[in-house]
């Protein structure tokens, strides 16, 4: 068994890896430039979800009269949101710190870099550098945003996710640049909170990895709420002055607003780790290549989460961290299976998918059957006056094995959790169909979809 493991990175992947390795009996040192929670807890995931939760709550308040309640105050409070971000980030970090401490994990704050295959140099915020030797390492250093020079935030009129926790007011208007998950979520949030949103999306379109029928439902909702979306041409520059921001597309088209929000992509944050000293390739712009257990080409160096490349999601990071932590400590664990990890977009309606799409299933050689159920067929959705959306299951037409699913609607991300489990267990449609969740509830949707008649998509 490996006795001493050093985990580099204090975000979701790093914390999970440290806990898993310690639980398996290893001595673990967790190293992070931020306290436990990492960038996700202090600058990106948690702050964004506070804003999205406020937007969701405002959307619910706007339905109060239909739900038999008096109207609620629907005025966003920027100062309250900023304070909530700060307090929740601190509380979440304290909880994670307590959790890893209880497991016996030592936490060192600082920037880590390899000196050799089994030695790190750690530069703390204050004091002298620390040398640390370990038997094995898990690189969970996360990712950083990509900003071309002409689209670089200034933290004032031109911002990015890490500046959300510092906003002292919401602008009257904003230009969101980027059609990925982050750009989509913030387009929704700013719009719901009363900001005029112009959304600029390049030639790859909105949410490229997701099925078009799911994205179409979301787009219809957003444009119906007066989001103005321009797709097909990438942004070239963003220039700020006293009057606001001017964003210019590559075709010369110009847009103006009070602020701009840039979210055009992320890359693994591995450049400063001196991985070449540990025997890894120098060019790791796409991340550290790993096997199903997180092992790199150097047997005692593992990687998890964003450091190992796309997709860059928190649940994928946590899954990989758990597997890497247990495996490096010599404990039994199954390899990572990407087809069981739900990809989620926290808009209203939410968008989610897991496993194979219909097209991917056919490309993999399956004859495909599709089951489709609208949210309007669910009593809980009717009670909440929120029937927009559907759940779609993809299965093998010959033996009924569930291959994938997609959903758009209220709590769609939670709805697909049962399908992710089913895919992991190689369940059949008949297995899913035989289960009945509490009624009424949105959790019924996945099981009810399996009982639905074959969709016309099965023959398309």
pLDDT, tens digit (0-9, with 9 covering 90-100), for 365-394: 999 999 999 999 999 999 999 999 999 999
Assign 77 a pLDDT band (cuts: 50, 70, 90): confident
Q: Does the pLDDT value for residue 181 go beyond 60? A: yes
Are residues 14 and 35 in contact, defined by beta-carbon separation less than 8 angstroms?
A: no
| CATH class of residue range 149-264 | alpha beta
Residue percentage of the chain with pLDDT more than 70: 97
Taking the CA atoms of residue 167, residue 206, residue 268 and residue 403 in that order, the dihedral angle to the nearest 10 degrees is: 130
Residue 297: both structure tokens together: 């080409």
One fold for 4-145+267-336 and 149-264: yes
The span from the CA of 437 to the CA of 439, in Å, is 6
Mean pLDDT of 136-156: 95
Cis, bond preceding 315 (omega within 30 deg of 0): no
pLDDT digits (tens, 9 = 90+) for 103-131: 999 999 999 999 999 999 999 999 899 99
What span, in angstroms and rounded, lies between the C-alpha atoms of 13 and 212?
Answer: 30
From residue 131, alpha-carbon distances to 106, 199, 376, 446 in Å are 15, 47, 60, 51
Contact 454, 369 (CB under 8 A): yes
List the CATH code of the domain at 4-145+267-336: 3.50.50.60
Token digits of residue 17: 């890896």
Lowest pLDDT segment from 71-75, 294-298, 299-303, 410-414: 71-75
Torsion sign, CA atoms 328, 331, 337, 340: negative
Q: What is the pLDDT of residue 457?
A: 62
Tell me what pLDDT residue 151 has: 96
339-453: CATH superfamily: FAD/NAD-linked reductase, C-terminal dimerisation domain (3.30.390.30)
Domain extent listing, the chain = 4-145+267-336, 149-264, 339-453
Determine the Cα–Cα distance for residues 331 and 322; give it in Å rounded to an integer: 11
What is the reported pLDDT for 60? 82
Token pair belonging to 9: 């990175």
Average pLDDT over residues 286-303: 95
pLDDT band at 76 (very low <50, low <70, confident <90, very high): confident
């Amino acid at each position: 068994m490996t006795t001493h493991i050093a985990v580099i990175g204090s975000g979701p992947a790093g914390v999970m890896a440290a806990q898993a390795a310690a639980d398996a009996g290893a001595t673990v040192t967790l190293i992070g430039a931020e306290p436990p929670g990492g960038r996700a807890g202090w600058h990106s995931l948690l702050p964004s979800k506070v804003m999205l939760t406020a937007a969701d709550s405002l959307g619910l308040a706007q339905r109060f009269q239909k739900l038999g309640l008096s109207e609620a105050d629907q005025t966003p409070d920027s100062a309250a949101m900023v304070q909530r971000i700060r307090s929740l980030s601190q509380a979440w970090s304290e909880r994670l710190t307590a959790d890893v401490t209880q497991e016996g994990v030592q936490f060192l704050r600082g920037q880590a870099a390899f000196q050799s295959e089994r030695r790190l140099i750690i530069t703390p915020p204050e004091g002298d550098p620390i040398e640390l030797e370990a038997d094995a390492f898990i690189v969970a250093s996360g990712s950083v945003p990509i900003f071309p020079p002409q689209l670089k935030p200034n933290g004032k009129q031109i911002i990015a996710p890490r500046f959300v926790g510092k906003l002292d007011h919401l602008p009257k208007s904003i230009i969101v640049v980027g059609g990925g998950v982050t750009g989509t979520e913030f387009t929704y949030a700013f719009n719901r909170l009363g900001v005029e949103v112009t959304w600029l999306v390049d030639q790859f379109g909105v949410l490229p990895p997701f099925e078009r029928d799911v994205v179409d439902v979301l787009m219809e909702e957003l444009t119906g709420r007066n989001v103005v979306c321009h797709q097909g041409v990438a942004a070239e520059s963003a220039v700020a002055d006293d009057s606001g921001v001017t964003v210019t597309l590559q075709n010369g088209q110009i847009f103006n607003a009070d602020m701009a929000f840039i979210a055009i992509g992320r890359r693994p944050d591995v450049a400063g780790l001196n991985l070449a000293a540990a025997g890894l390739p120098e060019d790791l712009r796409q991340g550290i290549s790993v096997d199903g257990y997180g092992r790199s080409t150097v047997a005692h160096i593992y990687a998890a989460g964003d450091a190992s490349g796309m997709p860059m999601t928190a649940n994928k990071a946590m899954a990989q961290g758990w597997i890497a932590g247990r495996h490096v400590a010599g404990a039994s664990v199954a390899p990572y299976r990407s087809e069981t990890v739900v990809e989620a977009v926290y808009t209203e309606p939410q968008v989610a998918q897991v496993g194979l799409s219909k097209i991917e299933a056919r490309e993999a050689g399956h004859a495909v059957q599709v089951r489709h159920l609208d949210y309007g067929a669910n009593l809980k959705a009717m009670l909440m006056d929120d029937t927009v959306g559907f759940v779609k299951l993809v299965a093998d037409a010959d033996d009924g094995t569930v291959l994938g699913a997609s959903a758009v609607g209220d709590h769609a991300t939670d709805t697909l959790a049962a399908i992710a489990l089913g895919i992991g267990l190689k369940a059949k449609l008949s297995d899913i169909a035989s289960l009945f969740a509490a009624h009424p509830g949105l959790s019924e949707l996945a099981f009810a979809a399996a009982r639905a008649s074959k969709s016309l998509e099965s023959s398309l």
